[in-house]
Amino acid sequence: MEHSKTATAVLNKRNMGNNAYVILMQEPYIYNGKVMGLNRKGKIHEHVGPQGSRASIITSTSIDAWPLLDFWSRDLIAIRTRWPSDDVVLASGYLPGDENIFPSREMIRLINYCENNSIPLVLGCDANAHHTSWGSSNTNLRGEMFVDFLMTTNMFVVNKGHKPTFMDGMGREEVLDVTLASSNILEKVESWEVSSEASFSDHNYITFCIKMGALERHSFRNPKKADWSKFNILLDEKLDSVSTTTIENPDILEVRVREVTQCMVETFQITCPEKYLDPNRRGCSWWNLELTVLRQEFKRALRKYRYLKNDNNKNNLKTCRNCFKKALRKSKLNAWRQYTSEIASVPQSARIYKILTKDKHKSMGPIELPSGKYTGSMEESLSQLLEMHRSEIDHSRKDDDVSNVVTEEKVKLAIDSFTPFKAAGNLPILRTLERMLLFINW
């Protein structure tokens, strides 16, 4: 991405509306040590540090991705993705041209780990190396070293053809970016190509598909669109089957709670149908017709320069690029000012405050083990947490009299503490539904 704001914005526009995608990115735009400028609807995997990350991965929310922190560094990011057919490790790497160790130690350890555990691996990297095996015009020492290393592994080069992946403002063109795949997934990597689309970076887009099966569709229910009149009628009918005998012990209380909860959930699911998310529903708010026209002009100038490289076409290309950059920054700034000026209520202000203060880099993830390594999956993290807190549970405590713990006044107080349409835990029980419990005989 050449650490470019413009290239980052164009990438956002390009992936707007895609339901499932993974972006293996090198040299992203960095601000205050973090990758910035990307669409925050997806998940950004990066190495956070003072100098920032030179490699990162962006995944859509529909993809189940787990970071493999044991192999993370400033120049390598690896994640383990879960698909219907199998797990696949995806990695983004950057190999600096001034490094003496080639390839990096982290990359060698990652390839050996996947090979030893028979895990499919797809690695996209900016190798900064020349070799004819991936389409370069010549072969240099770094390229020979990289190929010699690959010959000792189960990794294969996916690159096809000789179309340049790198082109700078001076007219230099070369194939420096390499896509690698392990032998157990090589046949599933299809449609690899270097895109002709303008990226506004010194590297062109590389696109390919991995045939791993369909992803689960994300659904939701909107309680404001539910038929509450029908809900009241159906709930009354279902609650007639719930026992109203006296609650004498905690076991009976648990059974009663499960019965009532099940009645409410089933009724809610009937009166509030499930809907599926449409990834194309929202567009890019700051994109406009002027940017579309300027990008088309830049594409025409780029094609002319590639066809005939002279000073006139080169200057025209620079002019079109600069005009597009200025218009894009102006459009984004105006869209942001318009959005902030429309905030007229406290809930809207609170919402924007939450957006500005939310840190996407802090989320549930791997846990460091006593050995110094990290857990490799969600199951391992949950098992480790359970093991750590198992000894803290007090099994000697006796259950108090349920009649002193659960009273009608306490139940009403708990229900009134919920705001409208506030979900309680992972169950789709809303305050509107919970208030129906007050009509049940205590």
What per-residue confidence (pLDDT) applies to 371?
A: 84
Provide the pLDDT for residue 95.
92
Q: Which 3 state secondary structure label does DSSP give 360?
A: coil
Give the pLDDT of residue 102.
Answer: 80
The residue ranges of DSSP E strands in 83-204, in sequence order, are 87-94, 121-126, 155-157, 166-167, 173-174, 177-182, 189-194
Mean pLDDT of 66-92: 91
- DSSP label at residue 157: E
Question: Per the structure block, which two tokens stand in for 287?
Answer: 């994109």
pLDDT band at 124 (very low <50, low <70, confident <90, very high): very high
Q: What is the pLDDT of residues 344-358, one digit of tens each?
A: 555 655 665 555 555
- Look at residue 384 in the predicted model and tell me its pLDDT: 83
Structure tokens, 315: 């200057």
Q: What are phi and psi of 123, to 5 degrees?
A: -125, 120
Give the C-alpha separation, 204 to 306, whole Å.
Answer: 13
3-state secondary structure (DSSP) of residue 143: helix
Residue 355: what pLDDT?
56
317 within 8 A of 301, measured Cβ to Cβ: yes
Kindly report, residue by residue over 73-84, the tens digit of the pLDDT.
999 999 999 888
Contact (Cβ atoms closer than 8 angstroms) between residue 274 and residue 221: yes
pLDDT at 129 over 70: yes
Angle at 84 between CA 81 and CA 86, to 5 degrees: 55
Which of 24, 71, 80, 72 lies closest to 49, judged by CA? 72
User: Would residue 350 be called left, alpha or beta, if left means φ above 0 and alpha means ψ between -120 and 50 degrees?
Assistant: alpha
Cβ-based neighbour number of residue 274 at 10 Å: 9
pLDDT surpasses 70 at 396: no
**Alpha-carbon distance 8 to 124, whole Å?**
18
CA distance 367 to 357: 24
pLDDT tens figures, 37-65: 776 667 889 988 888 889 999 988 778 89
Residue 88 pLDDT more than 90? yes
Handedness of CA 316, 318, 323, 324 (dihedral sign): positive
